Chains A and B, each alone.
Chain A
Amino acid sequence: MMDKLKLGVFELTDCGGCALNMLFLYERLFDLLEFYEITEFHMATSLSEGNHYDVALVTGTVSTQRDLNLLKEARNHSDYLIALGTCATHGSVQASVELPIREKLKAVYGDEGNPMRALDSKPVVEYVAVDFALPGCPYDKNEVYQVLLDIAKGIEPVRKDYPVCLECKLNEYECVLVKKGLPCLGPITYGGCNAVCVRSGLGCIGCRGPLPGEVNPAGEYEVLRELGYDDEYIIRKFKTFARWEP
């Protein structure tokens, strides 16, 4: 039997969800272990035995020097690096606080300041080249499963090229934007979550970031304005997960 691929999971600053989501694969995690051997995954194991990774999954934002060091280590020692989750691909919510880091630290830790040094939260993709970017807050676990299987079989994983709206239509959910007037970013958000929030009758909050290419953020902006949402509200909504300029 061929050797298993070495898999490393590296967590930078985030909520822990993207690492946790791997464990939520349950039995299918064991299916993946037919192809992969986990040699670094600090949430799940006390072993740390890798110096080379065939595939590295990196979650979270770069928010400290430690994060940056760890990211570089992961990049330098891996063949295929996946920026996993919206923190890693777009910065997600914690990168959306638009203040210089010093002011943020002062607001949180007081006037005397905290000597702990932090960096402005930024996505992984701003520091290193990645081989694949899989957004989502959190990402869809079926998608990462498929991506890892594809890589194990030597197939380049497919990048999706349609908005959440399409998945919403395929599921035949009622359009919450048109029917209920809820702020839904489904028309311009990168699909792949199976429109899970619209399933609850609520609007897409845009957690997978903008779909590149032929979407129409200006149109979405106009629709939301016509529904009565003010500029500031819309802009903040656009910027929350992906620093999205309307």
Chain B
Amino acid sequence: MIIELHEFTRVEGNGKAEIVIEDGEVKDVRLKIIEGPRFFELLTLGRHYYDVPDLEARICAICYLSHSVASVLGIERAFGVEVPEEIQLIRELGLIGELLESHALHLYLLVAPDVFGYPDAIRMATKHGELVKEGLALKSFGNRIRVLVGGREIHGINVKPGGFGRYPSVEELERVEKESEALLRLARRAVRLFAQLDPYGARAEHFVATDGYLWGEKLVSEEGEQFHYTERIEERSLVYSFAKQSRYKGEPFFVGALPRLLLKADMLTPTAKRLFEEHRDKLATGYVSYNNLAQAIELVYSLERANEIAKVLLDRGIKGENVPVEAREGEGIGYVEAPRGVLIHHYRIDGNGKVAYSNIITPTALNHAMMEASLLEEARELYGEADEMAMIQRLEETVRAFDPCISCSVHLVKL
């Protein structure tokens, strides 16, 4: 017998799942990514590097800037280009804006309705309007930062190899500084709310993140060593899904807000660190559902860090100079922490500056095996115990805790 979970709602993109029951027991779970393939690696093949980040941005709307930045990092590394701290800080600010926008969307509009028992945030707003408004305030601030750094709310083109089309002005940075401070109160309230939830889903045993907080030179795992994805992560195709599955040393693993906190707590800003310490025991259990709490703590981190960055840039003054980029043959990997976890852009570029090889692995693809493992565990626990509707509801919540971004997951290529 197969129990079907119909297309997930309140997630980005199209996916569903099947629970396979044999002899009255849950035998297997298949997470099916049914979003059509989008062939991004083929799209960028043979393209001039300058246009590639704008195209890659189109992989995902919720985290377009992570894709632009990962793309730019991959290209710059292929050419051996290093950018000064000013450019790095502005990029980081953009990624923070994206974290705010994406986490606020996920926590307030997609997850909170489960917490309060509503089908959506619009219907939740009649009774919990204040909370929905707070979420929208955080989200819109995140988006304003995305406009500032990326050039548009969605699919901006301002992030370029070697720098930016346009640099933020003093007034814009002053606004970031002020607003990030003012919104901190709301983020702290979100931490209180999501700290109350009981855990569900599986407990992850392996965690992977980039070695810096929002991007890095390499990846790290709970084992502490730094490595390139090609060394320890394997991908394989599935017969029932347009997304591939990845394993870390052959095992399912977890990327996202919770792994970031667990692996990189020492990089957090003061209040975020205090909140992490307060909830450390819970988070360290590794339940994927604590990803929600981890995201709430990251809202605090993002606001504090945005404030720091704005202050540093204002103190120093913006130079606004791009680094000259010269195309040469090379290979580079960009590692970024998209809001929902590690994002990898890997390119080889030829002597004419055109992409000769490209591989992109998105967080949802990296989490695919862990999502299945988590659904399996939850289904085994609930099958026969809870009624079927309640089980399905909980399974959907389990998927949602990963904050999956299904559209992004469906174009992985090895050429």
Interface residues in chain A, defined as those with a beta carbon under 8 Å from any beta carbon in chain B: 11-18, 20-21, 23-24, 26-27, 30, 33, 38, 42-48, 61, 63-64, 66-67, 92-94, 96-97, 99, 104-105, 107-110, 112, 114-116, 118-119, 121, 137-138, 141, 196-197, 199-202, 205, 207, 233, 236-237, 240
Interface bits B29-65 vs A (CB < 8 Å: 1, else 0): 0000011111111110001100100110011111010
Determine the distance from Cα of A240 to Cα of B3 in the docked complex, in whole angstroms. Answer: 41
Determine the distance from Cα of A199 to Cα of B152 in the docked complex, in whole angstroms. Answer: 10
Asked if A97 contacts B154 (CB within 8 A), the reply is no
Stretch at the interface among B187-195, B204-212, B237-245, B369-377: B237-245
Q: Which of A13, A18, A42, A233 is the one whose CB lies under 8 Å from B9?
A: A42
Could you tell me the distance in whole angstroms from the C-beta of B408 to the nearest C-beta in chain A?
8
- Give the residues in chain A near B55, CB-CB below 8 Å: 93, 240
Asked if B41 contacts A108 (CB within 8 A), the reply is yes
Could you tell me the distance in whole angstroms from the C-beta of A42 to the nearest C-beta in chain B?
5
Asked if A24 contacts B143 (CB within 8 A), the reply is yes
Determine the distance from Cα of A97 to Cα of B412 in the docked complex, in whole angstroms. Answer: 15
- Give the residues in chain B near A104, CB-CB below 8 Å: 37, 39, 42
Classify the secondary structure of B's interface with A: loop
Stretch at the interface among B115-123, B263-271, B330-338, B379-387: B115-123
- The reply to whether the CB of B394 lies closer than 8 angstroms to some CB of chain A is no
Asked if B165 contacts A13 (CB within 8 A), the reply is no
Determine the distance from Cα of A107 to Cα of B40 in the docked complex, in whole angstroms. Answer: 11
Asked if A16 contacts B61 (CB within 8 A), the reply is yes
Asked if B61 contacts A17 (CB within 8 A), the reply is yes
- Give the residues in chain B near A67, CB-CB below 8 Å: 36
Q: In the complex, which residue of chain A has the Cβ closest to the Cβ of B153?
A: A24
- The reply to whether the CB of B399 lies closer than 8 angstroms to some CB of chain A is no
- The reply to whether the CB of B7 lies closer than 8 angstroms to some CB of chain A is yes
Asked if A196 contacts B152 (CB within 8 A), the reply is yes
Asked if A46 contacts B119 (CB within 8 A), the reply is yes
- With A43-B11, A45-B122, A115-B239 known as contacts, the answer to whether A64 contacts B36 (CB < 8 A) is yes
Asked if B154 contacts A21 (CB within 8 A), the reply is yes
Could you tell me the distance in whole angstroms from the C-beta of A86 to the nearest C-beta in chain B?
10
Could you tell me the distance in whole angstroms from the C-beta of B125 to the nearest C-beta in chain A?
8
Which chain B residues (316-348) contact chain A, with CB distance < 8 Å? none
Could you tell me the distance in whole angstroms from the C-beta of B202 to the nearest C-beta in chain A?
23
- The reply to whether the CB of B161 lies closer than 8 angstroms to some CB of chain A is no
A-B contact pairs, 9 of them (CB 8 A): A16-B12, A42-B9, A42-B14, A44-B10, A45-B9, A46-B10, A47-B119, A93-B43, A202-B157
Asked if A11 contacts B122 (CB within 8 A), the reply is no
Asked if A201 contacts B166 (CB within 8 A), the reply is yes
